[in-house]
Structure 1
Amino acid sequence: MANYIAIDVGGTGIKYALMDETARIIDQSEVATPKESLDDFLDIIEGIYHQYQGHHPEALVMAAPGKIDSQNGYFHTGGALMYLNAVDLKSLLKHRIPIPFFVENDAKAAAMAELWKGSMKNVSSGLVVTLGTGIGGAVIIEGKLWKGHTYAAGEFSGIPVHWNTRASVFGESWADLNCTNSMLTRYAFATNQDPDAINGRTFFEAVNQGDPTALAELEWFCETLATGLHALQLALDVEKIAIGGGISRQPVLIETLDRIVSNQYDRFPAWMPASKPLIEACQFSNDANLIGALYNALEQTGQLDNQ
């Protein structure tokens, strides 16, 4: 069975694993992400290759932030890693590692994991919406990931929620309302707590204990999230929407969101032009990007049919 080196580049850490062709993880570790140096980044990637080269890997596969041309391994942007802006990473690594290299945007890779082995398996049309420091995601059309004309499909964070853009370039964005940090900060201010002392765990503990302020914030958060999802559904009319990100593992979030989405469709059934999509949590969390990075490589090389 073929082995692969899978790498998930994050803003603070680089997770990496030796995987077989079915996405079974054989070995896994993590190293800190360089903050400023492209050379340091390349040295780390080369070091990971040497760590596993004795296992005769078929390819090195990667998920990373930014706007990425996955066909050519080119970073138009690198997200928070500015040293990856306008970088032909595939060409640079060609001189350091003697095996094929494949890279995909991290949010799209997470969606690929769901498409391959998770909540989007056998789904013809769907959306993966990832809630975190922003709102990432992916669009699935006819069972395939739709990347867009310039590889930017699924960049939901910047969607304006007010159309008056005179005050700023985008107006108020969807991420301003529905990123995880916004929810936690609003709750902290409403309860006179230090925002730095509130995280997802403490917030959902309060929700599950019946804290009325936490319950009210969750309700508002899901109402605004449902409105954004409804706009996407009107444009795309998909079968299913899967919610990702750390907070998606909280059943009360998915239950509340699904109830509110259902209410939207039940209130106006006569003129609602799109049908209600299924709402559920993504199946994968911590390893989604590694699995999706492997899927991207297998898809590009025509090997998915063998899995």
Structure 2
Amino acid sequence: MGTTYAALDVGGTAIKYGIVNDRKQVLSSHTIDTEAHKGGAYVVQRICHLAKELSANTDVEGIAISTAGQVDVWCGSITDAGPTMPGYSDRAIITAVENATKLPVEVENDVNCVALAEHWAGSCQKTDHFVAFTLGTGIGGAIFINGALYRGHAFSAGEWGYMPINGKGFEETASINALLNQVRKALPEETIRNGEHVFQLYDQEHPLVVPLVEAFYHTIAIGIRTVDHILNPEKIVIGGGVTQRGTSFLYELTEALKNVHPTMAAKVVLATSGNQAGMLGAVYHFQAMQKAREAIRQ
């Protein structure tokens, strides 16, 4: 079984939690609602309860947490959280969970954990220079330089969603939420369930949906090309719910990239860690941070 860890992936909608070992295996996984509308203090209590439950039932080395929001990884607090997590900013996650479990705890931003998972167990193994984009409710990002995660001065590097593209924030026009809003506005008499439904209409060549999806791809391509010009990575890995479209998504995005600029040195790949990326990345981060803290103590 190897060394085991309790792992939690805390999002604005759901918390995934389970046991992960140092062999890159997710041994168990469960999901519950975050209930973020009840406030940051409640969410932290929920995290503590789940961590205690996991550590009580399994002999674990520590607690590894991936979470929404910008994270100061050294003190383990949330430096900033968006509107989907009200009252979550300034919460001291490490202190609260260590007090609850009496075990070592490490915490990292959720999109950074996606990148860490891809570097450890996914499509960017043995890749020292890459960037990650996650396309979902918003747009997140992460940066790997010289084989290490780059967090920036205030732990907020890779926040692509806030880049201005054509006069608007990137995620205002190129997230799945933005696409859903545009399609619902164009088809007010039809119930548009989710992003999968939008792409079904796109595949059926719906005359009002096709130009909206093409504009969506074009804006994503502009954002990716912008980051590619600035950082010159070896790979660009794309994660998030939209990638469930698989090779069709990759082909459509590649065509949009060609329309923006005919050549690009970076290889665009899809994330392969799936829904377990947050937990896997959190464990990889836990291992690295524990080594870093030990080196400082010596």
The within-5 A match list for 1:1-307 is 1-34=2-35, 35-52=37-54, 53-79=56-82, 80-162=84-166, 172-194=168-190, 197-250=192-245, 251-266=247-262, 275-302=264-291
Residue identity matched to 2:51: Y
1:101 Cα deviation from its structure 2 partner? 0.4
Q: Distance in 1 between matches of 2:115 and 2:282?
A: 10
Q: Distance in 2 between matches of 1:37 and 1:183?
A: 28
Q: Distance in 1 between matches of 2:46 and 2:212?
A: 42
Q: Which residues of structure 1 form unaligned runs of 5+?
A: 163-170, 270-274
1:57 Cα deviation from its structure 2 partner? 0.7
Query: Measured at CA, do residues 215 and 280 of structure 1 come closer, stay the same or move farther in structure 2, by a change above 3 Å?
Result: farther
Query: Measured at CA, do residues 189 and 45 of structure 1 come closer, stay the same or move farther in structure 2, by a change above 3 Å?
Result: closer
Aligned residues between the structures: 287
**Aligned residues of 2:34 and 2:43 also touching (Cα < 8 A):** yes
1:192 Cα deviation from its structure 2 partner? 4.1
**Aligned residues of 1:127 and 1:139 also touching (Cα < 8 A):** yes
Q: Distance in 2 between matches of 1:193 and 1:232?
A: 38
Give deviations 1:158-199, integer Å, cap 9, x for gaps: 11124xxxxxxxx521111101121122223334444x5341
Residue identity matched to 1:200: G
Question: What SS does the corresponding residue of 1:87 show, helix, strand or coil?
Answer: coil
Residue identity matched to 1:113: A
Q: Distance in 2 between matches of 1:116 and 1:95?
A: 29
**Aligned residues of 1:109 and 1:288 also touching (Cα < 8 A):** yes
Question: What SS does the corresponding residue of 1:82 show, helix, strand or coil?
Answer: coil
Deviates more, 1:215-224 or 1:123-132: 215-224
Q: Distance in 2 between matches of 1:49 and 1:173?
A: 36
RMSD (CA atoms):
2.0
Residue identity matched to 2:28: D
Give deviations 1:37-87, integer Å, cap 9, x for gaps: 455334333332332324211001111111101122111123332332112
Q: Distance in 1 between matches of 2:30 and 2:22?
A: 19
Normalised by the length of structure 2, the TM-score is 0.89
Q: Distance in 2 between matches of 1:117 and 1:290?
A: 12
Question: What SS does the corresponding residue of 1:83 show, helix, strand or coil?
Answer: coil
Give deviations 1:92-137, integer Å, cap 9, x for gaps: 2232111100100111111111111112111221111111121101
Q: Distance in 2 between matches of 1:198 and 1:49?
A: 34
Q: Distance in 2 between matches of 1:260 and 1:13?
A: 32
Q: Distance in 1 between matches of 2:183 and 2:52?
A: 47
**Aligned residues of 1:261 and 1:276 also touching (Cα < 8 A):** no
Q: Which residues of structure 2 form unaligned runs of 5+?
A: 293-298
Query: Measured at CA, do residues 193 and 126 of structure 1 come closer, stay the same or move farther in structure 2, by a change above 3 Å?
Result: farther
What is aligned with 1:168? none
What is aligned with 2:295? none
Residue identity matched to 2:52: H
TM superposition outliers: structure 1 runs of 4+ over 4 Å: none
